[in-house]
Structure 1
């Protein structure tokens, strides 16, 4: 009887475990189905989209934690009145960093770019954490002034990390997804990333309990996690498009010295509108290691003579140009200049409003509360600011982005943020209190992360790989820093007096807000025209890096790129395998 009861108990336990597993599996499937329907993402693509969201969540968690600590460090080392000058200095450091990044995009693979950026900033964050505890150089030293180099170094490092890593992530994502995928996926990616943002800002609210230097150590772990997640991503997803993302971005200079096939194509198949017609490529058969891979037959493959080896001077010029290719491409296309304006001009206005809020906040009773160390009260205030911003951003991204781009359209969705920015300028000038600025600045930043940024990322869909990686870095990293520097220079002229700043910046802020509305409307029309005609920007100068809207064509073109590197090993009218 005892043995029978024991067997019955075991059977009951096993059945309970199996039922629980079935219920969990069913619940996860139900959640996944609802997410796919809500964001209009194909169910099979849901794991990839959520993985992108996880990567961005790790980036944003580290950034928001550091960003919440940035101004308290400045306030307690060099003084908050030097913050505008610190932003001006960050432009110079960012210029140097983006030049190195521009060069690296043509030298190393795209996953390696993530590892380099993550490793550099993760180690730097750990060094800053150690220096913050030093009695002479760190926060224990109460002597404020511009001679405190740690404050400048920490500020410039945090500014560079936030811009560069986020820009790299979106360059990578824009290269993998087409417009229809992005309309649904970007909303879910941003919503997932907001969980990391909320976590990072919540940690900052406990600066008084944990300590600022310890929070820097936590942020360094989050930064290192990005590199680990990128490695896991490429181990998990082994489809053809993801595999092609392991290649480096082709340099513009290569279009005239390497790639003779595509050089011929660029001269013979370019259309008057600047679009680029792909060569005839026929699918022959399928076979691959991890997934079915297409074998392509290329028609009209006519190799030409090898271009002469460039001289030493030409090679030097090419190397130097590699540091600024993105900048050259930026000013080559009017469309990209408009993208620059839409992506960066608002930073001038937001920087002015943000400075007003932080000056008032640093001297408020909330920041001066007793019972916390110097700087921790201000850090807690900014932590609550981050919490409010990211919760609002999560709600907007979860319920707003996908609905708007599918039902209102990209062109009209682009106009929402500039309209709110214009209203915010009016309200903050009429009612200039700290809490009004708290609400308005946090609302604007929430809309930037949840609506403006993902919508303006769609503007990069009809562009070449070189523009997605090189030009985007110049726009998002250097352009954004330059815009903030302009806003900071206006703040500097006010001498730290909020009332003077309001009188000085009122008219420029209104003019810039109206200008953004006009440019945004114009680029919305341009974007619709590009999508309708299925043309894209950048094909005329770098055909070897085209990433068309149609990803089937993109995968075929990737095969062409690989073949043209070693075209002398092949013969015309022969069948080639993409796996080789």
Structure 2
């Protein structure tokens, strides 16, 4: 046994409590996938705070719901191109090409932001033409970052799901998520908050670094494919011709599959309800943050928020919260998650403070990434390869955006309510309606969870 194998054996022992027992080659596989996911999550979680911060600077914080709405509409052609490329290329090629595209575009945005970003006074003093151009850039930046999370992250999980068997996934997927949180912890504050600490006036430096990091995904994927034993890629090494043919129908086929099968529809419902509730709470948090901070200071604060979310997620995983799916079973976890979300939502309705909202959003996102996300991804394993390839990408990409759209449409009520009834009374009415809608959705979530419990045992689509 060489030094590398001894080190891996030591890590396997450390991970045994939190994730379960791994074979040596199996652990090496998940470790490499973890490195890939670390870069993806690290870049994405640094782009997310910058997405909101730059949009609020270039456009306005009250327009955040409109940006989310537009991103849902803009995602449709993105998703159609995505499924078209999936039909023409193998999954590993897509995982090599997509980071190249995003790396180039991110570097372009870095150069543009260096010129366009400025203080609120400078932006407001621009001519009408330049002002319109600035707002268009803000919307373009917002949509671009949304597409990163909607395409590249689900593509990784489609690849991971298709190369992993059910028993292995129950311990391996939480490990990948935990490993990925390292990037989510380090990157946002260290890179996203860098311009603020260096007293720079734009976020161009942060965006440029993220563009370069995106390119590193390519050699990591190549190394993974080259060194992973074939029996650990059993599903993947099968010829792709049949899958290619079934994917030709693309975007609409994923929607058709979801509508036809209640099992997939319930998974979509869980994603939709969680995303709607999160969008409502998240909007109120960022609106309040944008009222207190501005410029690179706002980017720094939201980047700190991003790192804290991943610290909580990492802590939950290391403490073994993901073991609930192994010790208590997926049915118990499916029913428990909406109860936890309900408690968090109740806290949002009761308290109005930036610090409390900060903690509540972190808790909501952390529980999702540490527990709900890995659990829901395992629900796709009993389905066929074709279903995973089409429906999972559709549900996780367009479904999550639909949830943001639903939440954003609700958040649009705040402005007219405050205009009609005053700032205080308008917000009280807004929160009352939010409470009724939110708890109604949580009840529906529980119904979905109860349906998914027996169906998962033998559901093959």
Question: Does residue 384 of structure 2 align to residue 464 of structure 1?
Answer: yes
| Cα deviation code 1:392-412 (max 9, x no counterpart) | 100111223442111110111
Deviation of 1:83 after TM superposition, in Å, equals 0.7
For 1:205, which of 169, 176, 193 is the aligned residue?
193
2:283 to 337, 351, 355: 355
Distance 2:43 2:399 in 1: 22
Q: What are structure 2's unaligned runs of at least 5 residues?
A: 419-426
Check conservation: 1:105, 1:248, Cα contact below 8 A.
no
What whole-Å deviation, never above 9, does each CA across 1:355-411 have from its counterpart, x for those lacking one?
0011111113xx2xxxxxx42121122122122211110011122344211111011
Residue in 2 aligned with 1:239? 230
Match of 1:518 in 2: 447
Q: Take 2:111 and 2:242, find their aligned partners in 1: how far apart are those partners?
A: 39
Q: Secondary structure at the match of 2:123?
A: coil
Q: In the alignment, is residue 164 of structure 1 matched against residue 155 of structure 2?
A: no
Matched, 1:453 2:355: no
Matched residue, 2:424: none
Q: SS at the partner of 1:460?
A: coil
Q: 1:77 aligns with which of 35, 58, 64?
A: 58
| 2:100 matches 1:113 | no
Native 8 Å contact 1:33 1:43 kept in 2 = no
- Deviations 1:192-242, CA, capped at 9 Å, x for gaps: 011010012222233413551111111112222222211111111141452
* 3-state DSSP of counterpart to 1:415: helix
Q: How does 1:236-385 map to 2 (within 5 A)?
A: 236-240=227-231, 242=233, 245=236, 247-248=239-240, 250=242, 254=245, 321-364=249-292, 367=293, 374-385=294-305
Give 1:149 shift: 1.0
Whole-Å separation in 2 of the counterparts to 1:158 and 1:402: 28
Counterpart residue number, 1:536: 460
Q: For the residues of structure 2 that align with 1:98 and 1:111, how far apart are their CA atoms?
A: 18
Partners of 2:242 and 2:197 in 1: how far apart? 49
RMSD of aligned Cα (Å): 2.3
Shift of 1:455: 0.5
Q: How many residues align?
A: 437
Partner of 2:434: 505
Question: TM-score with structure 2 length normalisation?
Answer: 0.89
> Do structure 1's residue 425 and structure 2's residue 345 form an aligned pair?
yes
What residue is the counterpart of 1:264 in the other structure? none
Aligned to 2:139: 152
CA distance in 2, matches of 1:237, 1:509: 45
Between Structure 1 and Structure 2, which shows a larger proportion of helix residues?
2
Give secondary structure in 2 for the equivalent of 1:495. Answer: helix
- Kindly indicate whether the alpha-carbon contact (under 8 Å) linking 2:266 and 2:452 is maintained by their aligned counterparts in 1: yes
Residue 441 of structure 1 and its aligned partner are, at CA, apart by: 0.8
Q: Structure 2 CA distance, aligned partners of 1:450 and 1:353? A: 19
Q: Does structure 2 conserve the Cα–Cα contact (< 8 Å) formed by 1:108 and 1:248?
A: no
Q: Given that residues 335 and 449 in structure 2 are in contact (C-alpha distance below 8 angstroms), is that contact kept between their aligned partners in structure 1?
A: yes
* 2:411 is the counterpart of 1:491: yes
Give, in whole Å, the separation in 1 of the partners of 2:17 and 2:345: 37
- Per the TM alignment, residue 459 of structure 1 is displaced from its structure 2 partner at its CA by 0.3
Question: Where does the alignment leave 5 or more consecutive residues of structure 1 unmatched?
Answer: 1-20, 256-317, 368-373, 538-580
Aligned to 1:230: 221
CA apart distance, 1:166: 1.3
Deviation at residue 243 of structure 1 after TM alignment: 6.7
TM-score scaled by structure 1?
A: 0.71
Superposed CA deviations along residues 133-169 of structure 1, whole A, max 9, x for unmatched, are 11xx434652386652110011001111012111111
Paired with 2:429 and 2:118, the residues of 1 have a C-alpha distance of: 31
Change in 2 beyond 3 A, CA 1:241/1:414: same
Cα distance in structure 1, aligned partners of 2:366 and 2:338: 13
Deviation at 1:417? Answer: 2.2
Correspondence for 2:398 among 478, 482, 490: 478
Cα distance in 2, alignment partners of residues 429 and 146 from structure 1: 36
1:338 Cα deviation after fit: 0.7
Q: Check conservation: 2:99, 2:218, Cα contact below 8 A.
A: yes
1:34 aligns with 2:21: no
